[in-house]
Chain A
Amino acid sequence: MKARARRIVNTTMGWLTALSAMVVVLPLILILVFLVYQGASTVNLDFFTRLPKPVGEPGGGMANAIVGTLILVGLASCLGLPLGILGGVYLAESQDRRLPWVIRFLADVLNGVPSIVIGIFAYTVVVLPLRRFSALAGGFALAVIMLPIVLRTTEEMVRLVPASLREAALALGIPEWKVILRIVLPTARAGIITGVMVSIARIAGETAPLLFTAFGNRFWHQGLLQPIAALPLQIFAYAIAPYDDWHRQAWAGALVLIVMIFSSSLVARIVTKGRYSGLR
Chain B
Amino acid sequence: MVREGGAAEGLSLLHLARSTRKTGRWGDRLFRLLIRAAALALLGIVLGLVIVMIRAALPSIRAFGWSFLFTSKWDPVAEHFGALPLIYGTIVSAVLALLIAVPLGIGAAVYLSEVAPSWIRPPISFLVELLAAVPSVVYGLWGVFVLAPWLRTQVQPALGSTLGFLPLFQGPPYGVGMLAAGIILAIMVVPFIIAVSREVLLAVPNAQREAALALGATRWETTRLAVLRYARSGLTGAVLLGLGRALGETMAVTMVIGNRPEISASLFAPGYTMASMIANEFAEATSDLYLSALIEVGLLLFVVTVVVNALARLLVWSVGGTVKAVRE
CA A90 – CA B35 in complex, angstroms? 5
Q: A16, A18, A153: which has the most chain B beta carbons within 10 Å?
A: A18
CA A116 – CA B306 in complex, angstroms? 14
The 3 closest A-B pairs by CB, nearest first: A205-B135, A114-B248, A20-B107
CA A19 – CA B305 in complex, angstroms? 31
Q: Is the CB of A115 within 8 A of B248?
A: yes
Q: A96 with B36: in contact, given A108-B309, A153-B326 (CB under 8 Å)?
A: yes
> Which residues of A lie under 8 Å from residue B35 when comparing CB positions?
86-87, 89-90, 93-94
Q: Is B63 an interface residue (CB 8 A)?
A: no
One of B13-21, B162-170, B204-212, B260-268 contacting the partner? B13-21
Q: Is the CB of A168 within 8 A of B13?
A: yes
Q: Is B255 an interface residue (CB 8 A)?
A: yes
Q: Is A212 an interface residue (CB 8 A)?
A: yes
One of B80-88, B151-159, B218-226 contacting the partner? B218-226
B 28-45 binary contact with A (CB < 8 Å = 1; else 0): 101110111111011101
The B-contacting residues of A in range 197-221, CB under 8 angstroms, are: 198, 201-202, 204-208, 211-212
Where chain B touches its partner, the secondary structure class is: helix
Q: Is B108 an interface residue (CB 8 A)?
A: yes
The B-contacting residues of A in range 143-181, CB under 8 angstroms, are: 144, 147-149, 151-153, 156, 165, 168-169, 172-178, 180-181
Q: Is the CB of B108 within 8 A of A206?
A: no
Q: Is the CB of A10 within 8 A of B250?
A: no
Q: Given A114-B250, A149-B328, list of 16 further CB < 8 A pairs?
A: A17-B107, A20-B103, A21-B107, A30-B146, A35-B142, A99-B36, A106-B46, A110-B45, A112-B248, A118-B49, A121-B52, A152-B325, A153-B326, A175-B24, A182-B1, A258-B135
Closest to A157 in B: B326
One of A42-50, A54-62, A249-257 contacting the partner? A249-257
Q: A13, A16, A187, A194: which has the most chain B beta carbons within 10 Å?
A: A13
Residue among B124, B219, B305 making CB contact with A10, cutoff 8 Å: B219
The A-contacting residues of B in range 236-279, CB under 8 angstroms, are: 244, 247-251, 255, 275, 278-279
